[in-house]
Amino acid sequence: MPAQSRKKRHRKSKTPQWQVTVLIVVAVVVLSAVIWFLMRDDGRGDASPFDARLFELAAGRGVGRDDISADDPIRKVGDIFVRTWLFNFPNRAARDGFLGDLEIEAASRAALVAYPKELGAETILFRVGFDVETFDLQLSVQKPRPPAVRQTKPTAVYGPTPKPQPAPDARGRLAILLDDGGQKLDLVPVAAALPKEVGFAILPFLPRSAETAVALHQAGHEIWLHLPMEPEKYPADDPGPGAVLMAMTPDELRTAVHSALNNIPHVVGVNNHMGSKVTADLRTMTWIMQELKARGMAFIDSRTTVHTVAEEAAQAQGVPTNRRHVFLDNERSAAAIRTQLDEAVYRSRMEGGIIAIGHLDPVTVEVLSQELPGLAKRGADLVNPSDLVR
């Protein structure tokens, strides 16, 4: 009897051979699928639909596949798969244009974006996120490559892919705000002759601050306070007199804001001068917005850092606000400024209304004096900066 019991127990514990075979097959299939998923993108092989769209947009800005590479092609962060692509652009104008294309493309796909973060002097990071996949795009400006001595084999030629175009009858609204007024008066007569919709942001407590504001206001232009704020590299980078600093108490901060506003006559709003550290601090920006609300002022975020919370603080306090979309003269040459103005016109027609910021600089003023009279024929209507705050 004990021997029979042991035999029964042995028969019950034995797993049928067909079940073992099935389990082995399933495990092999699952493992193969995982390996295929992790290894499917080696940076030069098959691309996802969004990858392919990135290549098209980059080609439209003069970037071929030889200028695109993958660094750490795919990795998993939490539940999100992250891909990193490296793009090398021939110049800053091409890179900045590609950024505008990305914003439009991301908006059309309802994607989440993190605005550009500087990784170095010539490299920025732009992140586009979907439900389970995120793209880290490192956008670099490279020095021109030396010409090849000889071709050993034919090279494939990738033609530019046209970027999305606005409807033929699409019209955009474009506001232009020129910063850094108040230092001297030599440019004021020429600047005053620009179309009256061009606004000017005046630095406070400079030798010609009030005089510049009065002259430009009398010529019909909007006057904004270009409020100095503490940057990340303060005190090595000095924002100038009357600056809002992180070490200030709330009362000192309110006094600084009121003093700067009182120093510039005819002010309708404020934008930040420097301020990469202040505009990233929600508490400090909330105090500033409370003072602007009390004075009936608007705020335009110059976006000197990707970590800015200025717009959120303004909206929370009921301050009319908007942000800078295009910089006109990071590179102060006539050709580069014209390229950026073209980008501003294009984006205004695609997005409805944008703000471009430049400087009260001889080259910028000269280019605008030549180009702005023909702006309406190109589908963009020049408006006051205050017309685009909400």
CA dihedral of 257, 261, 264, 268, whole degrees rounded to 10: 130
Tell me the per-residue pLDDT of 41-70, one tens digit each, with 9 for 90 and over.
433 334 467 888 888 898 989 898 888 888
pTM across the whole model: 0.64
Question: Is the pLDDT reported for residue 13 higher than 80?
Answer: no
The CATH-assigned architecture of domain 49-141 is 2-Layer Sandwich (3.30)
CA 49 to CA 108: how far, in whole Å?
A: 14
**φ, ψ for residue 323, nearest 5 deg:** -140, 165
Which residue did the predictor score with more confidence, 314 or 32?
Answer: 314
Predicted confidence band at 105 (pLDDT cuts at 50, 70, 90)?
confident
Cα–Cα nearest to 257, from 246, 243, 247: 243
Alpha-helical regions (H) of the chain: 2-13, 17-39, 49-60, 92-108, 188-192, 209-218, 250-263, 282-295, 310-316, 334-351, 362-371
Domain boundaries, given as residue ranges, for the chain: 49-141, 172-388
The CATH-assigned architecture of domain 172-388 is Alpha-Beta Barrel (3.20)
CA 276 to CA 230: how far, in whole Å?
A: 7
